[in-house]
């Protein structure tokens, strides 16, 4: 299982479980980083987009652990926001196709992952992507042999639509 910790703005995964004191300081650090990034980007979560930002290392750990990410996995992340979960997925060895609707967050993600070849970004509303099957096939490598899994902190107001669309 992956155990997460924040150093600076990058998520690191370690094989050992941090002690309780370290875990508390990590959660505070993640919360502080998210709040700082939101202030710098002048973002207030938009209710219309169902935006919510993960501020708990424990929640990220649960998402990654439940997905059982392995090196080489292909992941579709819907609404990556600030990219905290994206960082975790990358560190576990996954390739990530991230679809972000918000203009400011998309630009932030472009800058953050500009040097990361394992991240592909799409600036769109996932529910409006008419050619999603082709996009996922291309992301898979066109072979149809490997699957693409959805691992995301999906905005709550689109969950049903995503299940029907993807």
pLDDT tens for the chain, 166 residues long, are 454 554 334 444 443 344 444 443 444 478 888 889 889 999 887 777 777 788 888 889 899 999 999 999 999 999 999 999 999 999 899 999 999 999 999 999 999 999 999 999 999 999 898 888 889 889 988 666 678 999 988 877 787 787 776 6
For helices 20-40 and 57-67, the axis angle rounded to 10 degrees is 100
- Is 153 part of any known ligand binding site? yes
The reply to whether 8 sits in an annotated binding site is: no
Pairing of strands 148-150, 119-123: unpaired
Q: If 0-12 CB within 10 Å is exposed, 13-18 middle and 19+ buried, where does residue 63 land?
A: buried
Domains of the chain: 3-165 (3.40.50.150)
What's this model's pTM, rounded to 2 decimal places?
0.78
Asked if residue 157 belongs to a known ligand binding site, the reply is no
* Lookup: tokens for 161: 């639509």
125 is annotated as contributing to ligand binding: yes
Q: Is position 73 annotated in a ligand binding site?
A: no
Residue 148 CB partners (closer than 8 Å, separation 6+)? 74, 75, 76, 97, 136, 139, 140
For residue 148, say whether it is annotated as part of any ligand binding site. no
Max Cα-Cα span within the chain: 47
| Residue 161 confidence (pLDDT) | 80
């Amino acid at each position: 299982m992956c155990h997460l910790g924040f150093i600076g703005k990058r998520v690191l995964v370690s094989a050992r479980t941090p002690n309780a004191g370290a875990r508390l300081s990590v959660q505070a650090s993640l919360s502080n980083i998210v709040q700082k990034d939101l202030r710098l980007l002048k973002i207030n979560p938009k209710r219309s987009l169902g935006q919510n930002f993960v501020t708990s290392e424990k929640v990220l750990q649960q998402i990654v652990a439940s997905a059982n990410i392995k090196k080489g996995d292909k992941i579709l992340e819907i609404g990556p926001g600030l990219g905290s979960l994206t960082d975790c997925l990358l560190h576990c060895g996954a390739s990530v196709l991230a679809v972000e609707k918000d203009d400011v967050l998309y630009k932030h993600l472009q800058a953050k992952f500009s040097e990361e070849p394992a991240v592909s970004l799409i600036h769109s509303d996932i529910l409006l992507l008419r050619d999603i099957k082709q996009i996922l096939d291309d992301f898979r490598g066109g072979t149809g042999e490997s699957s693409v899994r959805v691992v995301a902190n999906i905005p709550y107001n689109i969950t049903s639509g995503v299940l029907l669309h993807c």
